[in-house]
Structure 1
Amino acid sequence: MWALRRVSVPLRSHCFGMGISHACCAKLETPTACNGDEAGVFDSPLIRFLCLKKNYRYQTDNVSLRFNVGSRELSSQADAKSIGEEGDLEDGFSELETTAAGGIQDSHIDGEKNDVNSEAELSDDDFGDTAQNELEESETDPTKKSSPRKRVESALFKAIMNAPSFSVYTALDQWVKEGKDLSQAEILQAMLNLRKRQMYGQALQLSGWIEANKKHDFVERDYASRLDLIAKVSGIQKAEQYIQQIPKSFRGEVVYRTLLANFVLKNNVKKAEELFYKMKDLEFPITSFACEQLLLLYKRLDKKKIADILLLMEKENVKPSLFGYKILIDTKGMSNDIIGMDQIVETMKADGFEPNLWIQAALAKYYTLGGHTEKAEALLMEMEGGNLKENRRACSFLLPLYAVLGKADEVGRIWNLCKSNPKLEECMAAIEAWGRLEKIEEAEAVFDRTLKTWKRLSSKFYISLLHVYVNHKMLTKGKDLVKRMADSGCQIGPVTWDALVKLYVDVGEVEKADSLLQKATQQSQMKPLYNSYLTIMDQYAKRGDVHNSEKIFHKMRLAGYTARLRHFQALIQAYINAKVPAYGMRDRMKADNIFPNKALANQLAQVDAFRNTAVSELFD
């Protein structure tokens, strides 16, 4: 707690050495514990990150972080910007050990910011606008080298997949009736297979059946796994209720950090910060996992707050994991600070970590977006290694990366190597790559081939082709594909709606997009994505349609999305284009703790009914 209490003096007048560079530190608005005679404590790999050679290029809405010790919480007024897992085979809920945004297949490849909830259907979560999967283990042992894991499909999982409508209860009852093995290892392997395919609804049913029938005694990680599934399928509120049902003896750090990860996944800053402090009050150790969850949250919402978490980690002697370095690399790359990004890599290596494929792919992506194509190409060759046949894991990364570079021949070369015996992730990467290269027929051929290879596929796979149609405004094909998804038994949920909304908006049918989203929400009772609302709202604003813009603004509130600066930017633009005043807009923003940046202040001035103009002053 001492470290948090020391975090009180602004960092505005201090510069720290980079160690591996001589970059100057940008002025930060974040509070820190640095007094004039204490700057030396920051000469470490963590705080070196603060020393930026370039100014931040992302909006932070001029909000500073306040460590409010009296109220025991991290208070925040950040505008929540939207953007955007694999672990131990034993634990059955491994994706919590790794959190989301990376690889070439994420939303930042086009410089876009997608909603953190762009994860796939709520019962089938985490896919998103080509998926914000920062797939790096958050607590990696730096002494271990990653090795490819062979996917093993359990017999129980196959029974569930072959059951009518994927009925878990039917499959389990039949399994027991036939006297088949229901060992803990079999259950965990089936759970892992369901999670890898993001079939969270079925995984939750499996967990519930095991708990209700008392086939095995639950331990803390079993409860944490169930908590995570409840959060993914039924929502955070239900997960918070479930945690009270867990026996106190099993309500440990793993359970609470699981809830923390889900708060971060949903961009719930207030709850994440409150839970972080509660874990300290419960005297759980401050771990790299918990700190890196907040780093991930602030990377999305307010980059300035990253400084405070790094300072806390420094004070508590908490070393970042490989996943933590991935977050810092992403933060640098997103600001196009290539020099700073390279410096983070050097610091990471000095700390005993070597870049794995996920980090190499992220680096190549940012090199490409920053115009450093030679560095990107050299890194891709390094990822390939001496023999790509022996290094097949790299193929799913290389396909979309070469596509971004516009190298169709390289995409064809790698796909030809894979297509005789392709893996599912390679097929999805090939669909994305061919789509990016505007070779729609090739993308469709890969899709059809994959359907013949695997009988049943999750919505995640269909969405890979759907995004190709969205990017090329192919409305008819997109609608036909969604029908095929439904016929195959896939649940049509928020990510699919979001794609259809974009398709309708792109062809000028905003009313149809609005109607579709309303009907889908009423039928399924699932929460649409933030971006779905914003896409429609932006179109109404362009038209100067104040009534419908206000209607969408209200619907977003009803759906549970807190007001953000971006909401008000779109809404005020509707008033500007309609050339009508927006009465009380400043009071509305103040009520939501939204403070205008320069751009929004200019917008407000244009819709202020009481502003003085050159003409009005003549008559005063």
Structure 2
Amino acid sequence: MWALRRASNPLKYREIRLGSFRAGCARVESGSCYLKNDNESAECAPGMSDQFVPSRRYHHNKSESFKFYNGRHYFSSHAGMKSSEDEDDLEDGFSELERTAGANEIEARSDNELISESEISDGDSDDEVSGLKNELELSDTAAEVSKENVEPKRHFNRLLRAILNAPGLSIKSVLDKWVEDGNEVNKIDIMVVNSSLRRRKMFGRALQMLEWSADHHEWSERDYASRVDMIAKVQGLEKAEKFIEKIPKAYRGEVVYRTLLANCVTPQNIRKANEVFNKMKSLEFPITAFAYNQLLLLYKRTDRKKIADLLIQMEKDNVKPNIFTYNLLIDTKGQSKDITGMDQIVETMKEEGVEPNDETRNIMATHYISAKFKDKAKAILKEMEGGDACENRPACRYLLLLYGLLGNADEVSRIWEICESDANIIECLSAIEAWGKLNKIKEAEEVLEKMNARWKRPSPKVYSTLLKVYADHKMLAEGIDLVKRMAEGGCRIGPQTCDALVRLHVEAGEVEKADAILQKVTQQKQMKPMFNSFITIMEQYSKKGDVHNAEKIFYRMQQAGYAARTRQFQVLVKAYVIGKSPAYGMNQRMKADNIFPNYQLVEMLKQVDPFKKTAASDLLD
């Protein structure tokens, strides 16, 4: 049984008891592993018990930790569990929800699978703190689609291309025409194609497919949950909640609400996440590790002081941690530079009968490298290889980048030689990034050229990764040429490619050009730019004290559908501080957006308060 014990001293010295061992709770200075945030704050839902959420307001400091993964928030109803970023908004996704092996078989294999790698787009295959299973659509589908049967693969590809080539709002008519032409569209077709659209972050098209399916197929609870997920991503949480009210009661179960919960976690909406969690309890749904992991993920990004209390509540509800829970705790310790505590959690994990996986080892090795424990990192890498990397091929995706971070070009070369002849897309991405870390740009470019030779049209994700390498090395001309190649080759310019292009110009000192690119993308309305694309430009204006342009980016973010967060206001107010401009009505604006300032933001607001009292003003008054 998983036990927790709280001490009476402050949390940063408090001990958490897991099984038979105690680990000192991590200090809480570091922030999200996804965005290098300045201080952020949020407010807890009043429905939470005082025991569960000990304070109503909380903050955390900027993360100085090593940023080691960036990913997507997969579909929460993939019950078992999952995650993903970033909201690519942090960003439509957090990379930390789980996927089943069945889903992976369809989603991220080499070019002889259902959808060729050349079809996989920007949203695919991000490195994840894996654990949460993608239970929605594909856990059973992979078994039904025979790898030897070529016809289903061709059928899926033809249907997918028809959907991709259709005008954005005509998906239902495309499907009607597809059926009129004598083609079948069954539930497996919907699942596979919908999954591919999700990976491309084409949520609007995926939602239209589900709406069409509702009129043609009998639905299960997970089908409804899938639609809730898409509505939340496309139309917002309020519309998703209204749709839930229309779902037949027999299908309005725990999977539907956990989906809504995950979509509250994506934009870090703490109040709504707590409301949904409490609603699940009031409806007496079985509370699984998935729901608790979602809240752990949320507090990991917003206020780590809450993690210990959440673990205590988890124990009281007799919910056992799974591999994802432990990975979250290990990562939290690592980001807090508490390497000893991280090692203790790993030992407890083993004592509780949960064996570390490659993702666990990847997290540990990354933090060892960040903390300069290179010998420990090398030992973990040898353990991941298992004596022969050829026999443990799934670990190569991690080994490539980790050896790159260690600065070991010979080992990167050795692992790449194992993968090179039949490397899948994830290994190619890791190789490009690893060579970039080693300042070997030519080798990174060669990976792309080999992919071009193997596949007619490599994933845009590959181009985006190489673009980021160019940005790191301020190679603006090379980056622009690469984007031109993408366009000439018919490769889709997605949100991640746009983000890399924005960063490329910012790193080269061309902030206005980056701003113009982002504005064009926003006006075209063919895709939703990433949250990070906006904030990267906004920070540059803020550093210059350019209030006008900082406000302009703030407004564009709202127009693009990103709800206001503490971080946006921090960057905006910083522009006022540096520009020595009074911020009229800033407190009222924050209140209207339900933003509760943390200590750092409060101090900045004092500096730009147009009505602040000074010694001189007191005399003059």
TM-score, length basis structure 1 = 0.77
Spell out the pairing of 1:146-295 with structure 2 (5 A cutoff): 152=147, 154-155=152-153, 156-161=155-160, 163=162, 165-166=164-165, 184=187, 188=191, 203-204=206-207, 206-212=209-215, 214=216, 216-233=217-234, 235-295=236-296
Spell out the pairing of 1:289-368 with structure 2 (5 A cutoff): 289-368=290-369
For 2:93 and 2:29, locate their aligned partners in 1 and report how far apart those are by CA, in whole Å.
27
Match of 1:56 among 29, 53, 71: 29
Deviation at 1:459, TM superposition (A): 3.1
Matched, 1:134 2:120: no
Deviation readout 1:469-501 (Å, 9 max, x if unpaired)? 222222233333334444555543433332222
Given that residues 53 and 340 in structure 1 are in contact (C-alpha distance below 8 angstroms), is that contact kept between their aligned partners in structure 2?
yes
Spell out the pairing of 1:305-454 with structure 2 (5 A cutoff): 305-454=306-455
Relative to 1, partners in 2 of residues 1:452 and 1:207: Cα closer, same or farther, differing over 3 Å? Answer: farther
Spell out the pairing of 1:401-550 with structure 2 (5 A cutoff): 401-524=402-525, 526-550=527-551
Given that residues 60 and 78 in structure 1 are in contact (C-alpha distance below 8 angstroms), is that contact kept between their aligned partners in structure 2?
no
Q: In structure 1, what residue type is equivalent to 2:503?
A: K
Match of 2:90 among 116, 119, 128: 116
Q: Match of 1:443, SS? A: helix
Deviation at 1:297, TM superposition (A): 1.1
For 1:200 and 1:399, locate their aligned partners in 2 and report how far apart those are by CA, in whole Å.
32
Deviation at 1:519, TM superposition (A): 2.3
Q: In structure 2, what residue type is equivalent to 1:158?
A: N
Spell out the pairing of 1:554-569 with structure 2 (5 A cutoff): 554-569=555-570
Gaps of 5+ in 2: 1-5, 32-37, 95-118, 136-144
For 2:327 and 2:243, locate their aligned partners in 1 and report how far apart those are by CA, in whole Å.
32
Match of 1:97 among 54, 71, 81: 81
For 1:411 and 1:349, locate their aligned partners in 2 and report how far apart those are by CA, in whole Å.
30
Deviation at 1:414, TM superposition (A): 0.8
Deviation readout 1:102-139 (Å, 9 max, x if unpaired)? xxxxx9xxxxx99511759xx999849x9462222359
Deviation at 1:245, TM superposition (A): 4.2
For 1:274 and 1:382, locate their aligned partners in 2 and report how far apart those are by CA, in whole Å.
43
Q: Match of 2:90, SS? A: coil
For 1:364 and 1:170, locate their aligned partners in 2 and report how far apart those are by CA, in whole Å.
50
Q: Which moved more, 1:458-467 or 1:349-358?
A: 458-467
Total equivalences in the alignment: 565
Match of 1:68 among 47, 51, 56: 47
Relative to 1, partners in 2 of residues 1:257 and 1:583: Cα closer, same or farther, differing over 3 Å? Answer: closer
For 2:592 and 2:224, locate their aligned partners in 1 and report how far apart those are by CA, in whole Å.
39
Gaps of 5+ in 1: 1-10, 16-23, 29-38, 102-106, 108-112, 141-149
Deviation readout 1:591-619 (Å, 9 max, x if unpaired)? 65655555445544544556677888999
Per the alignment, residue 20 of structure 1 pairs with none
Deviation readout 1:366-408 (Å, 9 max, x if unpaired)? 1111111110010001000122111111111111111011111
For 1:92 and 1:263, locate their aligned partners in 2 and report how far apart those are by CA, in whole Å.
11
Relative to 1, partners in 2 of residues 1:234 and 1:460: Cα closer, same or farther, differing over 3 Å? Answer: farther
Q: In structure 2, what residue type is equivalent to 1:117?
A: E
Q: In structure 2, what residue type is equivalent to 1:346?
A: E
For 2:73 and 2:42, locate their aligned partners in 1 and report how far apart those are by CA, in whole Å.
35
Q: How many percent identity over aligned positions?
A: 49
Given that residues 72 and 91 in structure 2 are in contact (C-alpha distance below 8 angstroms), is that contact kept between their aligned partners in structure 1?
no
Deviation at 1:328, TM superposition (A): 1.1
Computed over aligned residues only, the root mean square deviation of the Cα atoms, in angstroms, reads 4.4
Q: Which moved more, 1:396-405 or 1:195-204?
A: 195-204
Q: In structure 1, what residue type is equivalent to 2:8?
A: H
Q: Match of 1:295, SS? A: helix
Deviation readout 1:193-226 (Å, 9 max, x if unpaired)? 66566665665555444433x2x42211222233
Deviation at 1:418, TM superposition (A): 0.9
Relative to 1, partners in 2 of residues 1:26 and 1:70: Cα closer, same or farther, differing over 3 Å? Answer: closer
Given that residues 367 and 375 in structure 1 are in contact (C-alpha distance below 8 angstroms), is that contact kept between their aligned partners in structure 2?
yes
For 1:126 and 1:78, locate their aligned partners in 2 and report how far apart those are by CA, in whole Å.
35
Per the alignment, residue 8 of structure 2 pairs with 14
Relative to 1, partners in 2 of residues 1:328 and 1:454: Cα closer, same or farther, differing over 3 Å? Answer: same
For 1:46 and 1:446, locate their aligned partners in 2 and report how far apart those are by CA, in whole Å.
48
Deviation readout 1:388-440 (Å, 9 max, x if unpaired)? 11111111111111101111111111111111111121111111111222222
Q: In structure 1, what residue type is equivalent to 2:90?
A: V
Relative to 1, partners in 2 of residues 1:346 and 1:180: Cα closer, same or farther, differing over 3 Å? Answer: same
Relative to 1, partners in 2 of residues 1:457 and 1:221: Cα closer, same or farther, differing over 3 Å? Answer: farther
Q: Which moved more, 1:501-510 or 1:54-63?
A: 54-63
Relative to 1, partners in 2 of residues 1:191 and 1:607: Cα closer, same or farther, differing over 3 Å? Answer: closer
Q: Which moved more, 1:602-611 or 1:542-551?
A: 602-611
For 1:519 and 1:139, locate their aligned partners in 2 and report how far apart those are by CA, in whole Å.
34
Q: In structure 2, what residue type is equivalent to 1:441?
A: K
Given that residues 544 and 578 in structure 2 are in contact (C-alpha distance below 8 angstroms), is that contact kept between their aligned partners in structure 1?
yes
Deviation at 1:44, TM superposition (A): 4.4
Q: Which moved more, 1:230-239 or 1:287-296?
A: 230-239
Deviation at 1:446, TM superposition (A): 1.0
For 2:246 and 2:120, locate their aligned partners in 1 and report how far apart those are by CA, in whole Å.
25
Given that residues 47 and 307 in structure 1 are in contact (C-alpha distance below 8 angstroms), is that contact kept between their aligned partners in structure 2?
no
TM-score, length basis structure 2 = 0.77
For 2:599 and 2:30, locate their aligned partners in 1 and report how far apart those are by CA, in whole Å.
14
For 1:264 and 1:295, locate their aligned partners in 2 and report how far apart those are by CA, in whole Å.
10
Per the alignment, residue 36 of structure 1 pairs with none
Deviation readout 1:70-114 (Å, 9 max, x if unpaired)? 99x9896566999969999xx99749821136xxxxx9xxxxx99
Q: In structure 2, what residue type is equivalent to 1:160?
A: L
Relative to 1, partners in 2 of residues 1:580 and 1:355: Cα closer, same or farther, differing over 3 Å? Answer: same
For 2:394 and 2:484, locate their aligned partners in 1 and report how far apart those are by CA, in whole Å.
32
Deviation at 1:25, TM superposition (A): 5.2
